[in-house]
C-alpha cells in the first residue's frame, strides 16, 4: 500500500489499532447505480501492507463489488475534527491460503467469526467458503482538517495516484 507522504504515518495507525478497531463507512453501488453505504471493520494488515475488511460472500456489498469493484470509504474523528476519505478498487479474495484471508481471519473477533465457522474449530482450515476479504487498492486520499474556531483555517488535501506516484490535486483553504 502506498500513501502520500504527509499522511503516511497517520493512515496505518488509524487502521491497525487492536484496542480501537476502525469501524468506518464503505460505499458501493448497486447494479442500477444506487449508492449503498454501510459500516465495516477496516484493518491495516502490515504483513501485506494493505487495508482490507472481511465480508460474507453472499452479502449485497460483495455482489456489488464483484459487479463494480469501485468503492469509497470515509472515517471521521470527532475529537480531532479530522476526516479521511478514500476511493479504491476492490480486490475480492476468498482463498484461505492467501495472506490477506489468513491474517484477516486471525484478527477477526470470535463473535463475528461464528458466522463463518464450519464447525467448532476456529482454525483457518475450517473457514466457510463464505468468508471473503475485500482488499483495497486505494487510488485517492482526501484528508480534511476542520478548524471549528476559525473555519477559514480548515484545510483539505487530496492526492490521486497517477502512474505509481501520488499527486496532490487540491491544497489549502476551502471556501
Tell me phi and psi for residue 119, to 5 degrees. -150, -160
**Contact (CB, 8 A) for 139 and 58:** no
* Residues 8-26, mean pLDDT to the nearest whole number: 77
- Could you please report the per-residue DSSP string of 58-87? TSHHHHHHHH--EEEEEEEETTTTEEEEEE
How far apart (Å, rounded) are the C-alpha atoms in residues 67 and 138? 18
Task: Give pLDDT, residue 11.
Answer: 82
Asked whether 90 and 134 are in contact (CB, 8 A), the reply is yes
* pLDDT value, residue 101: 84
What distance lies between CA 90 and its chain's CA centroid?
9
Residue 84 phi, psi dihedral angles, 5° rounding: -125, 125
Calculate mean pLDDT across residues 21-49. Answer: 89
Give me the CATH topology for the region 5-170: Pnp Oxidase; Chain A (2.30.110)
DSSP-based three-state secondary structure for 110:
helix
Highest mean pLDDT among 30-34, 75-79, 117-121 belongs to 30-34
Each residue's pLDDT tens digit, 41-81: 888 888 888 899 988 899 999 999 999 999 999 999 888 89
Residue ranges covered by each domain of the chain: 5-170
- Provide the pLDDT confidence category of residue 3 given band limits of 50, 70 and 90: confident
End-to-end CA distance of the chain: 32
pLDDT at 121 exceeding the cut of 60: no
Q: Is the pLDDT of residue 143 over 90?
A: yes
Amino acid at each position: 500500500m502506498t500513501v502520500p507522504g504527509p499522511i503516511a504515518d497517520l493512515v496505518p495507525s488509524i487502521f491497525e489499532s487492536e484496542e480501537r478497531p476502525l469501524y468506518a463507512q464503505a460505499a458501493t453501488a448497486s447494479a442500477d447505480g444506487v449508492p449503498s453505504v454501510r459500516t465495516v471493520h477496516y484493518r491495516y494488515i502490515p504483513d501485506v501492507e494493505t487495508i482490507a475488511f472481511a465480508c460474507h460472500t453472499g452479502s449485497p456489498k460483495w455482489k456489488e463489488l464483484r459487479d463494480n469493484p469501485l468503492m469509497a470509504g470515509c472515517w471521521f474523528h470527532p475529537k480531532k475534527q479530522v476526516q479521511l476519505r478514500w476511493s479504491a478498487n476492490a480486490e475480492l479474495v476468498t482463498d484461505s491460503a492467501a495472506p490477506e484471508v489468513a491474517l484477516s481471519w486471525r484478527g477477526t473477533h470470535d463473535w463475528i467469526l461464528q458466522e463463518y465457522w464450519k464447525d467448532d474449530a476456529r482454525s483457518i482450515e475450517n473457514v466457510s467458503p463464505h468468508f471473503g476479504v475485500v482488499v483495497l487498492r486505494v487510488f485517492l486520499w482526501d484528508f480534511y482538517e476542520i478548524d471549528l474556531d476559525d473555519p477559514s483555517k480548515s484545510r483539505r488535501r487530496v492526492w490521486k495516484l497517477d502512474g505509481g506516484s501520488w499527486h496532490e490535486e487540491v491544497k489549502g483553504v476551502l471556501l
